Every structure is written in C-alpha cells, then in structure tokens.
Chain A
Amino acid sequence: MTATMEFVRASRWYGPVIALNDVTTTVGPGVTGLLGPNGAGKSTFLKLAAGQLAPSQGEVRVLGKRAWGSPELFHRVGVCPEPDAFWEGLTGLQFLMALLRLTGFDDAECRRRADHALEQVALTEARDRKIGGYSKGMRQRIKMAQSLAHDPQVLLLDEPLSGMDPVNRRRVVDLVKKLGREGRTVLVSSHILHEVEAMTRRVLLIHNGRILAEGDVREIRDLMDEHPHTVALRARDPRALARAVVGSPHVLSLTFGAEGEWVTVQTARPDEFYSSVVDAAVEAGVSEMYSPDENLESVFKYLVAR
C-alpha cells in the first residue's frame, strides 16, 4: 500500500509538554480512524499532517512532500478543522466560493464546485443563509463541505461528527465511506469510538503521544488472546442454555442478565466456543448472540488501561 502520509520518528513538544513522542507510521488510501482520549495527541498528529505545525524532531511527509512549508499540497489536501469558527457574516455559498477562489479556481468553476459540495452535505436549501444562523449540525457540514469542495486526494477530518444529530451523523458517515471507497486517503480523528467504528475498521490508537496500536480492529483484538472474550446470548430458556454450556472447557465464567433472558459467558477461545454452542443454542431458543468487547471500546479501554 503506497503511503500517502509518512511519519518518520516524528515528535512534537510545546515547551515541557510532549504532544507527540517519536511516532513512526504511514497512512494509505481508504478511511483510517485516529483514536485517543482528549489530550492524547490526535490534534497535534493532524496538525503535523496538515502542515500547520513543524515537527520538533523527525519528519512528516504527505504525498511525498514535507508537510510544513509546502502550501501547494493543499491543492490535493482538504482539512476540516475542529473549532466551530466561521466568518459569521458570510452565507454558506459565499463561504465556499471564497475558499475555492483561494484554491485557484475561476468563478464559474467555483460556483459549480460549491453547489456540488453543498449537495454532498445536503445544505443546498440553506446556501443563501448566513452561517451565523446555522444550527450546530449545519455548521459542521458546511465545514465538511469546504474541505472536499476542491476534490482533494487526502482528507484530514478533526472530529467531523461532534455535535451532530443522528440523521446528519448517518449522512456524514456514508459520505466518508464513499470518499474512502473512491481511493482517497481519509484520516478521521475522534475521541468517540463508535463514531469511527461506523466508518472504518482500520484505526490508529494514540495515547500519551504514542501509537498504542494500528491496523484492523479485529486483528488488534485477536492479538490480545490472554484477555478473555465476552459473549452475550439471549435465549428463551437461559437456564437450559447455561446447563448445556457450563461443561465446555472453554467457558471461564457465566452470569445471568437482570431480566432473565440474557446469559453472558467469558471464554478464552471465542472461535471454539462459537462452534461448540451451536446445538445447545437451537434447543434453548437463542435469538441473539454477539461479542460486546470485540468492538473498539473494549479494545481501547484494555490497551489504555495497560
């Protein structure tokens, strides 16, 4: 996978505070989630990639060029900054047109691209209203629109879903996934795990300025065998199900849910457990089965807690 972005031993500190500590990684095409709690170094990572900060040490390259001091990169890079800050007096259309002119397009091309971007984020009706009067979700979407209006090859999105209602959230997640499928490199930073989970499986986990883990969530999860997996099952007769599975050598512990329908099992070998429980599941009328800690939340909590 050719790397669109490369961090080579990149560090960045603000006085005594180390924001990014000797990070070496690459980000290629497709959607990559940049995850970590507040103050983990996500924003610094993004700002280094967006050429807003120079690395105190090491090197950051985007599309083969040094990120800091290469403004021409922004022909092919789109940035959606985190602050909810706008020129409040401009309308949505004027805002996009002004920024597209700054990208070197002539007026006709600016208008075409602005309309297209507004369509992508479903803000066409509100284009002639002042941004000062937009709702929180609309402001977030117009900010998204300005980052992709010039058809960039690389997109850096800092907390794109913050403050959005479920309907808009769904719309932006689908848009990001579409951009990823088109082969663009999309780096989405967020501290809300299920947001990122909805867009991609490939993540970069950052904590205290270091990269804890990178790659597909499931691959990371499987690397941590010694940590027991949890499997939740909902059955018509949970007691019968319990009696059937408790004998299996893979079951470490078993607990009943409050409403009496749910049984939660701890197991060291999830795959073997799944195959051994199939017959018992049919007799006990299991209607639902999933692994709650296969998702990012638990992976993350587990890695951060270490």
Chain B
Amino acid sequence: MPIYEQTYRRYEARAPLRTVRFWPITREALRLILARRAFLGLLLVAWGQFLFRVIQVYVVTRLPEAGRVLPIDGRMFGQFLAIQTLFTLLLSIFGGAGLIANDLRTGAILVYLSRPLTRRDYVLGQLGVLLALNLSVTLVPGLLLYLIALALAPDQFAKWSLAWIGPAVVLHSLVTSLVMSLIALAVSSLSRSARVAGLGFFGLVFGLEILRGVLRALYDRPESALLSVQADLQSLGNALFGITDRAFQLPWAYPALVLTAVSLACLAILRARVRAVEIVR
C-alpha cells in the first residue's frame, strides 16, 4: 500500500539492526490489507471448501458407504489444494497486484530504499505479504483439515501408510504459494498501475490455461499441460497425492522443472525492475 495512504508514524531505527529487516514491510502491508472488508469476504469464501471437506470427513466416518461417493483418502487433500489454487490466484490479484506497482508510481520505493534496507529486503518484505495471504488459504486449512481428519477418523488416517499426507500438504502448499506469489510480484513490478498489474497477472495465468485447452483439443498431447502454470501445479499435486488424471500424465519432474524456471525468471525480473530511479528516455 503506498506510503502516502498510511498514517505517518516516526520510524525509530533502533540500533543494532536486526537480521530480519524486512518484517515491518510485511506487517504494515498485511495490517492494511486485513483492514479491508472486501478482503475478509474473499478470505471467508476461500475457506468455504474447508468447511465442506470437514463435513465430508464427518459424514463418511458416520456413514461408511458414503465413502464410495466421496472417498476420504490422500487424494481428497490433493483435490482440496487444487481448488484452493484458484483462490491463491484471486488473493494474489487482490493483495499483491499493487504491492510494487503503487510504490513505483508514487515514488514510495525511494522512501523504503532510503531506509537501512537492501533491495533484497524490500522484495522479501513484499513477497512475505503474498506468501502469508496464499498460505492462509492453502497450508493453514490443509493442515487443519488433516488434523481434524486424524481426530474424526483415527482408524482411517492414523496409519503409517498415510503418514505422508502431512508433509505432502506442506510441500504442495509452499510450492503453490511461492510460485503464485513470485509471478504476481514480478508482474506487479512491471507496471505502475495496480489494476494493470492485476489484470496482467490474471491474463498471463489464464491466457496460458486457455492456450493449454486449445492445444489439448488440437493435439491431445500431454506435453501441452507444461505450458500452463496452473496445470503444472496440478500435475505436481497429482503426483504428490497419487491422483490419476488423463489430462496430466507427465512425470512430476517436468512440471517441477518448468515451475523452477518460471520462479527464476520472476526473480530476474524483480532484480531488474526494483530500483529507486527509473531512467526516462
């Protein structure tokens, strides 16, 4: 949120400098975002599926034959996180589109970089905001669901054979949140308007998804799934949670490679774009 919209509080640079210097940026931005009612509404909707899944686990524990219709096993968590990915998309637009764009437009980035902060601290601070938002709709509900499942259906879940679910939820949530946050932040640094950044980010992620749909209709080759970030994340999720789906047959190494490349590209963009002065030719 640009500096001029914040109420002014003196920044007391206490000595010696703490190692984690970016935290004030993240905390302030989160405080401002959480103050917006529309955001809380979006968060509530994002947690809707969590409630549905809790009810699903409860129903299946009471009526085992319902398990045939809505099976509650490792794959449920995979499907849960796949749907939550759509909410990370909306949250990244809502919370993240203007993070860097507004600072570039209003020149507030000068204020940050005239503090004892490096550009890395600034990027980490802004990334922290998006990570917090995205993890709040993937990792937190995911782990909570796992714990509730353990509590409600210990016989079903408290087994070594299903012990992998916890780590899988953590890993998949982290990857999804990190990738979505990095892309949103990189696009935000490419523009000076939050709206353009938001739509640019959506256009990029959704545009690639449409392209994948067209290519699959055209050539029906599994490689077309690599093109879309959402599809890569879904492929990883399927591999992690053992979901078999005709649309995503590639070994998980390929999507992982693509996502790593995308993340590195975003970091490169951030390194190039986050600077105090913009040269106008």
Residue of A whose beta carbon sits closest to that of B192: A88
Residue of B whose beta carbon sits closest to that of A134: B280
Complex interface residues of chain B between 244 and 281 (CB less than 8 A to chain A)? 280-281
A130 partner residues in chain B, CB cutoff 8 A: 280-281
Contact with B along A74-98 (1 / 0, CB 8 A): 0000000000000010000000000
- Tell me the complex Cα distance, A182–B281, Å: 39
Q: Is A104 an interface residue (CB 8 A)?
A: no
B280 partner residues in chain A, CB cutoff 8 A: 88, 130, 132-133
- Tell me the complex Cα distance, A132–B280, Å: 6
Residue of A whose beta carbon sits closest to that of B278: A132
Complex interface residues of chain A between 130 and 162 (CB less than 8 A to chain B)? 130, 132-133
Number of A positions contacting B (CB below 8 A): 4
A132 partner residues in chain B, CB cutoff 8 A: 280
- Tell me the complex Cα distance, A132–B192, Å: 14
Task: Give A296 Cβ to nearest chain B Cβ, in Å.
Answer: 28
Contact with A along B149-182 (1 / 0, CB 8 A): 0000000000000000000000000000000000
- Tell me the complex Cα distance, A130–B281, Å: 8
Residue of B whose beta carbon sits closest to that of A132: B280
Complex interface residues of chain A between 103 and 135 (CB less than 8 A to chain B)? 130, 132-133
- Tell me the complex Cα distance, A132–B281, Å: 8
- Tell me the complex Cα distance, A88–B278, Å: 12
A133 partner residues in chain B, CB cutoff 8 A: 280-281
Task: Give B228 Cβ to nearest chain A Cβ, in Å.
Answer: 34
Contact with B along A151-178 (1 / 0, CB 8 A): 0000000000000000000000000000
Residue of B whose beta carbon sits closest to that of A129: B280
Residue of A whose beta carbon sits closest to that of B280: A132
- Tell me the complex Cα distance, A133–B280, Å: 6
Complex interface residues of chain B between 110 and 141 (CB less than 8 A to chain A)? none
A88 partner residues in chain B, CB cutoff 8 A: 280
- Tell me the complex Cα distance, A122–B281, Å: 22
- Tell me the complex Cα distance, A88–B280, Å: 9
- Tell me the complex Cα distance, A133–B281, Å: 7
- Tell me the complex Cα distance, A288–B26, Å: 59
Task: Give B153 Cβ to nearest chain A Cβ, in Å.
Answer: 53
B281 partner residues in chain A, CB cutoff 8 A: 130, 133
Task: Give A194 Cβ to nearest chain B Cβ, in Å.
Answer: 26
- Tell me the complex Cα distance, A88–B105, Å: 12
- Tell me the complex Cα distance, A7–B189, Å: 46
- Tell me the complex Cα distance, A88–B279, Å: 12
Task: Give B255 Cβ to nearest chain A Cβ, in Å.
Answer: 40
- Tell me the complex Cα distance, A98–B239, Å: 58
Task: Give A86 Cβ to nearest chain B Cβ, in Å.
Answer: 11
- Tell me the complex Cα distance, A275–B281, Å: 63
- Tell me the complex Cα distance, A247–B7, Å: 56
Task: Give A95 Cβ to nearest chain B Cβ, in Å.
Answer: 15
Contact with B along A274-306 (1 / 0, CB 8 A): 000000000000000000000000000000000
- Tell me the complex Cα distance, A132–B279, Å: 9
Residue of B whose beta carbon sits closest to that of A88: B280
- Tell me the complex Cα distance, A50–B281, Å: 34
Task: Give A138 Cβ to nearest chain B Cβ, in Å.
Answer: 13
Task: Give A17 Cβ to nearest chain B Cβ, in Å.
Answer: 15
Residue of A whose beta carbon sits closest to that of B279: A133
Task: Give B2 Cβ to nearest chain A Cβ, in Å.
Answer: 14
Task: Give A139 Cβ to nearest chain B Cβ, in Å.
Answer: 12
Residue of B whose beta carbon sits closest to that of A131: B280
- Tell me the complex Cα distance, A133–B279, Å: 8
Task: Give A134 Cβ to nearest chain B Cβ, in Å.
Answer: 9
- Tell me the complex Cα distance, A240–B228, Å: 92
Task: Give A39 Cβ to nearest chain B Cβ, in Å.
Answer: 14
- Tell me the complex Cα distance, A130–B280, Å: 8
Task: Give A146 Cβ to nearest chain B Cβ, in Å.
Answer: 20
- Tell me the complex Cα distance, A224–B281, Å: 56
Task: Give A133 Cβ to nearest chain B Cβ, in Å.
Answer: 5
Task: Give B4 Cβ to nearest chain A Cβ, in Å.
Answer: 11
Task: Give B212 Cβ to nearest chain A Cβ, in Å.
Answer: 35
- Tell me the complex Cα distance, A84–B226, Å: 46
- Closest 5 A/B residue pairs (Cβ): A132-B280, A133-B280, A130-B280, A88-B280, A133-B281
- B residues near A (Cβ < 8 Å) are 280-281
Can you give 6 contacting A-B residue pairs, CB < 8 Å? A88-B280, A130-B280, A130-B281, A132-B280, A133-B280, A133-B281
